[in-house]
A = this chain, B = another copy of it.
Amino acid sequence: MSTSPAPVSVIGLGNLGRALAEAFLRAGHPTTVWNRSAAKAQPLVANGATLAATSAEAVAAGELVVVALLDPSAAREVLTGAPEAVRGRALVNVTSGGPQDARELADWAAGHGAQYLHGAVYAVPQTIGTAASSVNYSGSRAAHQRWQDQLALLGRHTFLGTDAGQASGYDVAVLAGMYGMLGGFLHATAMARTAGIGAAEFTPMLVSWLTDSFPALETFAEEVDGADYGATESSLAMNQAGLATIIRASREQGVTVPTLAPLKELIDAQVAAGHGAASLSRTVESFTDPS
């Protein structure tokens, strides 16, 4: 026999929160929603959701409370602003943030009788709530087990461990890598345009080359793990020369180099320290030892 679906709340109705609230409604859960600007809640209310007057009321209304806000300070404000309401709740926070944010909220929740599970969502807006998106969770194992059917509405999900900061640790690292690629795309597209090449014509060539470069990243990763930068096909000196050419060509085309110039400075410092024959991957050391 089936039990009635548990009451749930969704706080924050951006792309992610909206998609999740809709999925909860479809699955028959009594669903309470809250958003700073209430207008975003109207389509959900039309589909049966309850609009809470305050975020604390929304926290109190759900056994499962999903927080999907824009930044970690907003998530902290909403949760710590409802210290009585959180008791006995499972708090699932899928707001992007750093590992430290998640650990602090997990400690706070434990001190107020709530379970805390942090989720890092890997989805573009088009794939939220589909099998093409995935979420890494860490924190309360009990909450992950109890609510796994509901969490499945957000996409494939993996439990990484009981350190609430772990999912965010992966997340911010992956996003740092993605923003590097986005910065490269923006620079590259500016160069293509000044060379008379349309962005839509150029981008597939760039994507193809980035894809071809992925195996090199895996080689670099092995070098980094072994701290063994000696046997390389991609030396710091070679990359120094390559970057110098790209930077010069950019400037000749009237394109600025805000992200590549600092990268070259790191490589220059490695070469100046006598590592010109070592692998480009050695530059990873410069990010944690800026001396």
Q: Residues on A close to B: CB < 8 A?
A: 15, 70-72, 96-101, 122, 124-127, 132, 166, 168-170, 172-200, 202-207, 209-218, 220-222, 224-225, 233-234, 238, 241-246, 248-250, 252-256, 258-260, 262-263, 265-266, 280-281, 283-284, 286-288, 290
CA distance A275 to B80 in the complex (A): 32
Provide the residues of chain B in CB contact with A122, threshold 8 Å: 209, 212
21 contacts between A and B (CB under 8 A): A15-B233, A96-B245, A99-B253, A124-B212, A124-B215, A169-B191, A173-B188, A176-B187, A178-B184, A178-B206, A178-B209, A179-B260, A180-B260, A183-B263, A186-B263, A189-B284, A193-B288, A200-B221, A202-B221, A203-B218, A259-B263
Provide the residues of chain B in CB contact with A194, threshold 8 Å: 288
The answer on a CB contact under 8 Å between A225 and B245 is: no
Minimum CB–CB distance from A127 to chain B (whole Å) comes to: 8
A-B pairs with lowest CB-CB distance, top 10: A180-B184, A98-B249, A177-B188, A169-B195, A190-B287, A199-B221, A173-B191, A125-B233, A258-B262, A199-B224
The answer on a CB contact under 8 Å between A217 and B203 is: yes
Provide the residues of chain B in CB contact with A281, threshold 8 Å: 186
Closest chain B residue, CB of each to CB of A264? B179
Given known pairs A126-B233, A170-B192, A217-B206, the reply for A249 and B97 (CB within 8 Å) is yes
CA distance A258 to B176 in the complex (A): 12
The answer on a CB contact under 8 Å between B246 and A176 is: yes
Minimum CB–CB distance from A216 to chain B (whole Å) comes to: 6
CA distance A176 to B259 in the complex (A): 10
The answer on a CB contact under 8 Å between B185 and A217 is: yes
The answer on a CB contact under 8 Å between B172 and A245 is: yes
Closest chain B residue, CB of each to CB of A69? B241
Contact for A258 among B124, B214, B242, B265, CB less than 8 A: B265
A177-B189, A202-B221, A256-B286 provided; 9 other pairs, C-beta below 8 A? A98-B248, A124-B212, A173-B188, A176-B187, A178-B184, A183-B260, A186-B283, A210-B210, A255-B287
CA distance A166 to B197 in the complex (A): 10
Interface centre among A125, A185, A242, A246 (most CB of B within 10 A): A185
Interface centre among A197, A250, A288 (most CB of B within 10 A): A288
The answer on a CB contact under 8 Å between B186 and A179 is: no
Minimum CB–CB distance from A260 to chain B (whole Å) comes to: 6
